[in-house]
Structure 1
Amino acid sequence: MSRFAQLHLLTAYPPANLNRDDLGRPKTAMMGGAQRLRISSQSLKRAWRTSELFQQSLRGHLGVRTKEMGREIYKDLVNKGVKEKDAKAWAIAIAGIFGKAKKEDKKNKDPLHMLDIEQLAHFSPEEREAISALCDKLAERGDGPENDELNLLRKHHSAADIALFGRMLASDPGYNTEAAAQVAHAISVHKVTVEDDFFTAVDDLNNGEEDVGAGHMGETEFAAGLFYQYICVDRELLKNNLGGDEALADKALAALTESAATIAPTGKQNSFASRARASYILAEVGDQQPRSLSVAFLKPVNGADILEQSVTSLDKTVSAMDKAYGACADKREVMNLVSGKGGLREIIDCITE
C-alpha cells in the first residue's frame, strides 16, 4: 500500500458567509498580493466530522469532544446510588485523567462547574466504555478510584475521527494521537471583495398607520468564490492509529473523501443556502513527498470561466512538478465536471486501494 493519499478539490460557492471571523465577516487571507476568501481547516473538519454522512459511515467508531465528561460521570454515579459528595470527587478524579479540572469558583452559580476540564478532550468509544465500567465498579464497592484503575482508562481505540484529525491532551501527552490527515485552509483561486447586505424585516402586525418603518434592520457580509482545497493523509499512520485495522482505515478514508467532496460548512446556511459539491477532484497516491498545488493560484485567476482556467492551471502545475522532480505520485485519478470525466467512486477507489 502506498503511504500517502492526496486530494486536490475545486469547489464553487455562491454568495455565502461559510466561516466567520470575530467580527462576523467571511474569513480572508492575502495570497499573491490579492485578498482571497478562506475557510479554515477547523471549520471544514468540524463540518465533515459531524455530518450525517460521517456519522452513518463510521457508526460506532467516532469519539465525542467535550469539556463536560465529568458531568456525565457524576450523573452516572448518582444514578447508581453514589452520594453526591462522593460522586463529585470521583468524577473530578476520572475526568482529570483527560484534562486539568477547573478550579472551584464560589461566584459561579453552577454547582457542577468544577467537574468540567479546562480544555476540550476527545473521548473514544472504548474510553467511554471503560469509564462506564469503572463507574459500575466504584458504585458497587462504595469507594473511590485507585491510580491503577485510572491508568487503565488509557485504551487503544477505534475512533476514526481521532485517528484522522488527532488529539492533544496537554495534561498527559501519553494520550496524544498524531493526526493522520493534514487539512489545508481552503482558499479562493481568485481575488475577492467582501460585500455588505443591508436587510430589513417587516412586522406582520404593523398596519403602517403610525410607524411605516421596518420592524428590524441589519447588515451581514458575504462573498462568493471558487475554492482550492488540499488534503493529505498518511495512510500508514492512519492504520497504525486504528490498531492496524486496514478495513476501518479504508472506511475512514472513504468517508473523509466523500465528505470533502459533498459537505459544506454550515455557517449562515439558512440565509444563503450555500450548499455545494466539488466540481473537480484530483486524487494522488504514492510514497513520494506530498505537496500542495496552491502555487497554481499564486496569480489570481480571472475571466469568464474561472473553473476551466483553474483546472488548466492545476494540470500545468502537476506536469511542471513531475518534469522538475520526477513523478510526484504513482497513480492519479480525476473527476472533472467540466469535461465530464470520472466520478466520485473512482476517486474513492484510488484513495483506498
Structure 2
Amino acid sequence: MTAAPLVKIAAEEPAAKPSLAGLTRDRLKLALAAAGVPEKQLRMRVGQLWSWIYVRGVTRFEDMTDVSKDLRRRLEELYVLDRPEIVSEQISVDGTRKWLLRLPKRGHEARAPEIETVYIPESDRGTLCISSQVGCTLNCSFCHTGTQKLVRNLETEEIVAQIMLARDRIGDWPGAKGPGDGRLLPQSERKITNVVLMGMGEPLYNFDNVKAAMDIASDGEGLSLSKRRITLSTSGVVPEIPRWGEEADTMLAISLHATNDALRDELVPLNRKYPIAELIEACRNYPGLSNARRITFEYVMLKGVNDSLAEARALVRLLAGIPAKINLIPFNPWPNTRYECSDWETIERFADVVNRAGYASPVRTPRGRDILAACGQLRSESLKLSASERNAASQGA
C-alpha cells in the first residue's frame, strides 16, 4: 500500500495586535470599551490616552503614568502603539528626508503594502508630504507615482501614522531630542508646521479616511495643526471639491499643468472625466475662498510642452477672478520619463507673465531630487492586487 504523500501546511501568522496610534476619538472609545473600561469612565480614559498618544507621542503604555497599572497591563495585552515599519530612510544633501514605510497586511493582501512620506525642512517651517493611497489610479503622464498601479486606500490610522512617525524621527514631540545628524531643521519650536496631501494617491478618492485623519491632525487637544497649514492637493475630482471645502475646511491645491483640455487630457487623464471648465467652476465656488484663503494652482514646467508665453497668458485668463497662487514646479526627472524640465530662462519668462498679472507665482525650488523625493517622484514597490485578491480583501473587510 502506497503511503499518502505528506502535505506541508503553512502555519498561520499570529494576528498582530492593533495599534491605538492614529485612531479617532470614537474608535479609541470602542477600543477601551473592548478592554473592559466601564462606560462611566470612557470619556475620561479617552481624554487621557488621547493626550498621551497625540500630545506627548508615547510609544509604551507603561509611560502613561496617570493611567492605572491594571488598565495599562490590559492595554498591553490587547494593543500596541506602533508606527509603520521603516524599510528605508534617505536624507538628501538639502536635508529633505524620505521614508519608505511598510504597513501591516490587511484582509487577503498577498504582501505588506508600502508607501513613501517626505519631510522638507526650511529655516522657518517644516512641511510633511503624506500619502493617501498605496499607488494611484490617475496615470498622470509626467508623474512617477502614476506608474505604480493602485493597491488600496490608506486607512485613517495609516494616514495619521505618517505624521506621528515623522515627529518621532525628527524629535518633534515635547522634550524630544532631534535626530542629531547635523541636517537642516527649522528654528521654530514645531518642526512639522505644515502638512500637504501631495504624496502617493488622489486624496479625494479616499475622502472619508483622509477627512478623519485631518480631523485628528487639526484637533486642538492633540496634534494641533492649523487647518490653514493643511493643504489637500487634487488632480480635479470635481464632485468632491465643494464637499471637502464644507466638511474639512483646509487649504486646497489643484494639480492643473495645462490650460486647454487637449493637453490636459494627455498630462492628467482625469481631465477627460472632469474637464477644465468644470474644474475651474468648482474652484470659483470653493467654500471659504478669499484672498486670505487662496487656492494654489500647481503647474509643472515641461520643456516644449506647456511652457510657452502663450500658455502663460492663457493661464492668467483661465484663473481671472479666482483668489489664487500659482506654483511653478520645475519638472523633476525620473527613470524612463519622456519629459524634460523647461530651461530656467523659459521658467523665468513664464513666471514674469504671471507675476505681472498680479498673481504670486513662486518657482518651487526642487528638494530631495537626489533621493527621488521631489514632487512627482514618489513611488514604492508595492504590487497591484489582482481582481480576485481585491474582491477577497473587500469581502473580508
Report which structure shows greater RCO (CA 8 Å, sep ≥6).
1
Larger Rg: 1
Q: TM-score, normalised by structure 2?
A: 0.23
| Structure that is richer in strand per residue | 1
